[in-house]
Amino acid sequence: MNMDPQTFPALVIGGPTASGKTSLAITIAEACHGEVVSADAFQLYSGLPILTAQPSSAELARVPHHLIGALGLEEAMDVQRYLGMAQAAIREVRARGRLPIVVGGTGLYIRALLFGLAKGLPGPDVELRRELERRPMHELQEDLRRLDPESALTMDLKNPRRVIRALEVCLQTGRPFSSFRHLTAWEGAPVGIWISRERVELQERIQRRTNTMFEEGVLEEVREAGEVGTTAGQVIGFSSLRLVLSGSLSRAAAEEAISIATRQYAKRQETWFRKEQALRAVGPAEAVTEGIKLLQTERREGTSGLTFT
């Protein structure tokens, strides 16, 4: 299929971890002359390809990928920086006359691409952030409930990056973080899909992936990673694997902990994508057909609301 990048700027494919996004994106990219732009907060980092479930070398050889392993493990990352990197990658793909396919499970990154960032949101305050990072998580959660009840109700309070960022904005501006969320109303048809699997099936896939990581040498990968920054240190399983390497945790216990944490993360991702009206939920069996159909429909009708300038 020949896609005019000026009339259809991008296709978005979201979904929970282990749902099959990578395989789907590659299949559609090969059919539609596309290239993949990652929207995964942890696959951005180099040095942990097994732990972050990055595409294999064979998959990377089939279709060009962008923003995979683009950062060192010591580098900090936030949605504002991601947005700039992703928009630059999308422009490059479009300039070559190819279709950008944004793929990932980080809903916040996808939402930023769909709607942009709220105006007036301040940049990070390094000293304030360090101060907040030193405080116990339960104190941060209580402060957020007091300063911004709306964010406390809608945000994943177990995610320290999100809680700290919200508090940082509250303290910098004297305004609730939620007050900056003036998202543009969505117009037109959905511009993407997200893969929805049965819960039991997804949990089985997560368990298989966890087992495979150990077979592929994830412990050695983490051993060689060295020091990591705050953001990369939050990769699911990283802290458990470090405990195994130090002799403080058994491999079996680490496998169980990683599997449970991944299932919990997948559940939060599903909750996010169900609320994302710009993306249509599809089952894995019809995902390729529906993705290509969406491209054909929107190219013909010109209904896409995504713009990347």
pTM of the model: 0.77
- Interval 197-249: pLDDT, tens: 999 999 999 999 999 999 999 999 999 998 899 889 999 999 999 999 999 99
Number of residues assigned to the chain? 309
Closest to 157 measured CA to CA, from 128, 167, 270: 167
Domain 11-117+190-301: CATH superfamily, name plus number:
P-loop containing nucleotide triphosphate hydrolases (3.40.50.300)
At 11, give phi and psi (nearest 5°).
-110, 140
Angle at 214 between CA 77 and CA 271, to 5 degrees: 50
Question: For the chain, what are the domain ranges?
Answer: 11-117+190-301, 126-180
Q: What's the CATH fold of domain 126-180? A: Histone, subunit A (1.10.20)
Q: At what angle do helices 160-173 and 137-147 cross, to 10 degrees?
A: 50
Residue 113: the pLDDT is 87
Taking 70 as the pLDDT cut, the residues of the chain under it are 1-9, 181-190, 297-309
Residue 297: the pLDDT is 63
Residue 142 amino acid letter:
E
